[in-house]
Chain A
């Protein structure tokens, strides 16, 4: 696979990859599949209409991983990609999907990834998604991911989603439906700066007995950036749901947190929490007494908060 410096840097940022990964992968660079590998248990096929890929994970596949990084390094590229994951019964896999945009030109670059996960009975999935932007062109770097998760009986999915730098505009939408005893954990980390905007919305439906979801977002809004977090957990059966939005606001940032709950069963135990505040003065002072400057103290607090 021939990658230039910028492409290689983006792959490192979004997928923590320094070389070609072991296991199944599909590298999408500037709108085309650049490289692909399948394994005995994991198959990746292009959709017939060319709109994306289907990933098939055989039942019982254990300790395998799938990497599907996307890189946009040309200005003015806009694409919508549909990726469907079929995760077989009883399997246990890690899926790493990141997208990075480098835009040095004056036209907007945009990647809208629509990911659907069909997770079969008792399967476990760890999903990691990182977004990253670089380049000093006037053109915007735009990412609008849509994630749909369907969890069958006893299955479990853990989602780590991070967008720390360089994405000008993002509108993320995540919906999930959980069957009997299924569980979903979401850890979202977001930092916006400059005049960026980020909207993240969740709708998690706990459909059957014993389903449970924990959706936690931590975010930092700096400069003149703007964020909205909108999370709704709905309980249709005896279930447990928790959503939390914890934000640090700085400079002239704006943060709107709209956690909501929808109980449709008397035994649906649902909780939401939201807190927005600036960095506490005493936290800065403590780290300064340990020898850090105010600026360094601020960076440590933010790094820790988003780690």
Chain B
């Protein structure tokens, strides 16, 4: 179980004044659930994801993993404790191959065949990608899927995906939904937290939490929350911008 208790996070703006991004936010993510955190742009979703992964530290409040206080734990320590994180904008590396990333993620010397399994799960033909460098020659959609494969390879108990749909084309988006559906089915003894405002992703959630102005506005089962979101900025369909 992952618990965020009365979390505050503020940044100092250029004029020296401090601005709250997260205000007294509390959230409990239960084991074996697929939770989608949604909310309008600028509501603090990405900050929340970074706070969970340890990339940012809260100004105030407490984060507990299975009852253990990890508020002060660094990124590496949290990763080792079982928190996985998929970046909204995947990082590229010169010279580091897709295989290297999967090997690092799995934390052991994995066989190329095992690495290939992770790539197949995200719908990439392993043979074409395994030895490719994770550099600028890969498209945004390809990098996004490789990013997800690295998180799968970690086999973390709590995986956080920050806007997995951001920056990818519609065709890749369809595939991504398929990937998440299949991950959802295979979820066992692990939990996934997806930051997203895509209707299609909200549809497959067990629970939905809505964040607004740095606080959790609603949190509950999909059946209760989803109907209240349709037509709002928190639940867009993939082509919202075309309308």
Contacts and interface: CB of A to CB of B under 8 A. Distances in A.
A289 B75 contact: yes
B95 A289 contact: no
Nearest to A246: B94
Interface string A274-303: 000000101101111111111000001101
A285 B95 contact: no
Contacts, number: 61
Interface in A200-226: 218
Given A285-B55, A300-B96, A290 B91 contact: no
Q: Determine chain A's interface SS by DSSP, over half rule.
A: helix
A150 B107 CA distance: 48
B49 to A, nearest CB: 11
Contact of A305 (B55, B80, B90, B94): B94
B84 interface: yes
B79 A291 contact: yes
Contacts of B154: 290-291
A231 to B, nearest CB: 19
Interface in B80-109: 80, 84-85, 87, 90-91, 93-97, 100-101, 104-105, 107
Contacts of B107: 290-291
B150 interface: yes
Contact of B87 (A286, A292, A306): A286
A248 to B, nearest CB: 9
Contact of A304 (B76, B85, B94, B105): B94
A280 B91 CA distance: 9
B235 interface: no
Given A286-B87, A287-B104, A293 B76 contact: yes
A307 interface: yes
A301 B96 contact: yes
B96 A289 contact: no
Contacts of A292: 76, 104
7 contacts: A246-B94, A287-B104, A288-B75, A289-B84, A290-B105, A304-B96, A305-B96
What 7 A-B pairs come out closest when comparing CB atoms? A304-B96, A304-B95, A288-B75, A286-B91, A291-B79, A289-B85, A305-B95
Interface of A: 218, 246, 280, 282-283, 285-294, 300-301, 303-307
